[in-house]
Amino acid sequence: MTDLVQIQNNQVVTSSLEVAKHFNKRHNNVMRDIENLIKGLLKIEQSTDPTEMFYLDNYTIEQNGHKYLHYLMNRDGFNLLVMGFTGEEALEWKMKFVKAFNKMEKALKLPQLTPNPHYRTRMIKTAVKDIGDTASTISEVFGVKKPMAMASAMQMIGVAYGIDTSPLEQFLPSETKPCYMNPTDIANVMCIKKGNGSPAPQQVNIMLAELGLQEKKGKQWTLTEKGKKYGEVKPFVNNGHSGYQIQWHDSVIDLLKGESA
């Protein structure tokens, strides 16, 4: 029953979507009714601020990722909205919503238990062990180096256990040859520029391919066996886009300059 309501900013609220669903109304009509209520309340002298009862928010449809508007409302807003809904079925749902509000508001007033410190200690020990096990699995399955796998495992386990794993970052092992340079970084270091003076990563990619360090598969550059000595494929997220990109160790610059074989 309590799925009819939710907690937002330490207040029990329901959604115009839930009202439309259970009172057999079109959601756009419920939204219209709420907006008419807000307009009416604003005209009444010394009226309660409508924003204390109705809050315009958005929700996301998982199937397409699109966002749409809906109203969240507290108990007073809900009562005003459904006051005019009539019929036996409408009355039944009014009572269900009232009981859901009562149950959730009662739960909010219950004292919160302080976590047992011994339990927390055992949980942290288990979390640290799980970080090590998860990092080993990530490294094996995805073929990434242990420091990178360890960093990812710390984030994942921290979220799963609800603990702060940042104090463990100081113990992350360092790589003997960390790979951190992309073609644009290399172009900057080697002063390989376009006509407008900006870096020329495309030219760097061609040079790396000519050295046999990478090859093009479709639209994606991939490391060759020789290239794996100087580079590593790492995931990236940028401006909502994600994928994989080759990161190079700075020793590859010597190869590009022809200073070593």
Encode pLDDT of 56-72 as tens digits.
Answer: 998 888 778 888 899 99
Of 60, 78, 108, the residue that ends a domain is: 108
12-26, 76-90, 144-158, 197-211: least confidently modelled range: 144-158
Q: Which residue range forms the structural domain that includes residue 21?
A: 2-108
What pTM value is reported for the model? 0.43
Buried b (16+ CB within 10 A) or exposed e, 197-226: eebbbebbbebbeebebbeeeeeebebeee
Long-range residue pairs from 68-71, CB within 8 A, at least 24 positions apart, any chain:
69/31, 70/15, 70/16, 70/17, 70/27, 70/31, 71/15, 71/16, 71/30, 71/31, 71/34
Of 89, 108, 127, the residue that ends a domain is: 108
pLDDT band at residue 219 using 50, 70 and 90 as cut-offs: confident
pLDDT, tens digit, for every residue of 233-250?
876 655 555 567 888 888
- 141 and 232 in a single domain? The answer is no
Residue 153 CB-half CA count within 13 A: 24
Q: Is the pLDDT of residue 258 over 80?
A: no
Answer yes or no: is 90 within a domain.
yes
Answer yes or no: is 215 within a domain.
yes
- 104 and 125 in a single domain? The answer is no
Of 66, 88, 108, the residue that ends a domain is: 108
Count structural domains, the chain.
3
- 104 and 137 in a single domain? The answer is no
List residues bridging with 192 in a β-sheet. none
Distances (CA, A) of 182 to 65, 160, 258: 31, 32, 19
- 61 and 91 in a single domain? The answer is yes
pLDDT, tens digit, for every residue of 28-54?
999 999 999 999 888 876 666 788 899
